[in-house]
Amino acid sequence: MVAKTFAQTVLSRASGEAAETGDIVNARVDLAMSHENSALVLRSFREMGGQRIWDPRKVVVLFDHRIPANTIKTAEGHKEVRGFARSSSLPFFYDLGEGICHQVLPEKGHVLPNMLIVGTDSHTTTYGALGAFATGIGATEMAAVWATGEIWLKVPETMRIHLRGKLPPHVSSKDVILHIIGALGADGADYKCVEFVGDTISRMSIASRMVLSNMSIEMGAKAGVCPPDRKTYDWLSQRTLQGCEPTFWDHSSEADEEVEMDVEDLQPQVACPHQVDNVVEVRKVEGLKIDQAVLGSCTNGRLEDLAAAEAVLRGKKVSRDVRLIVVPASREIYIDASHKGILASLARSGAIILNPGCGPCLGGHQGLLASGERCISTTNRNFRGRMGSPDAEVYLASPETVAMSALRGEITDPRRP
Partner 1 sequence: MISGKVWKYGDHVNTDLIIPGRYLDNYDPKHLAAHAMEDLDPLFAKGVQMGDIILAGRNFGCGSSREQAPIALRSAGVSAVIAGSVARIFFRNAINVGLPVIICPEAGRILNNGDIAELDLGTGTLRNQCRGGEVHFAPLPSFLMDVLGSGGLVPYMRRRLDPSSR
140 is in the binding site of which of partner 1, ligand SF4, none (Cβ under 5 to 8 A by kind)? Answer: partner 1
Q: Is 275 in the site for partner 1 (CB under 8 A)?
A: yes
Task: Report 378-397 residues binding partner 1 (CB under 8 A).
Answer: 381, 383-386, 388, 390
Alpha-carbon gap, residue 173 to 384, rounded angstroms: 25
Question: What is the chain's percent helix, strand, coil content, to nearest 5?
Answer: 35, 20, 45
In the complex, what is the shortest distance from the CB of residue 126 to ligand SF4, in angstroms, rounded to a whole number?
8
Q: Is 248 in the site for partner 1 (CB under 8 A)?
A: no
Q: Is 182 in the site for partner 1 (CB under 8 A)?
A: no
Decide: is 365 part of the binding site for ligand SF4 (CB under 6 A): no
Stretch that binds ligand SF4, among 205-213, 243-251, 278-286, 356-364 (CB under 6 A): 356-364
**100 CB neighbour count, 10 Å cutoff:** 31
Instruction: Please name the residues in contact with 60: beta carbons below 8 A apart, sequence gap of 6 or more.
Output: 31, 32, 33, 34, 92, 93, 94, 101, 105, 110
Site for ligand SF4 in 202-261 (CB under 6 A): none
Does position 149 interact with partner 1 (CB under 8 A)? The reply is no
372-to-8, 286, 369, 385, 391 alpha-carbon distances in Å = 47, 18, 8, 12, 6
Distance of alpha carbon 4 from alpha carbon 330, whole angstroms? 36
Contact between 361 and ligand SF4 (CB under 6 A)? yes
**Whole-number Å distance between alpha carbons of 386 and 78:** 23
65 binds ligand SF4 (CB under 6 A): yes
> Quick one: which of 107, 120, 97, 111 has its CA closest to 38?
120
Q: Give the Cα separation of 19 and 42 in Å (integer).
A: 31
152/248 with CB nearer partner 1: 152
| 244 is a contact residue toward partner 1 (CB under 8 A) | no
> What is the spatial distance between Cα 136 and Cα 123, in angstroms, rounded to a whole number?
7
Q: Is 379 in the site for ligand SF4 (CB under 6 A)?
A: yes
Q: Is 120 in the site for ligand SF4 (CB under 6 A)?
A: no
Piece in contact with ligand SF4 (CB under 6 A), picked from 36-44, 73-81, 257-265, 355-363: 355-363
Three-state DSSP state, 399: helix
Minimum CB separation from ligand SF4 for residue 250, in Å?
A: 32
Q: Which residues bind ligand SF4 (CB under 6 A)?
A: 65, 100, 102, 121, 123, 297-298, 358, 361-362, 379-380
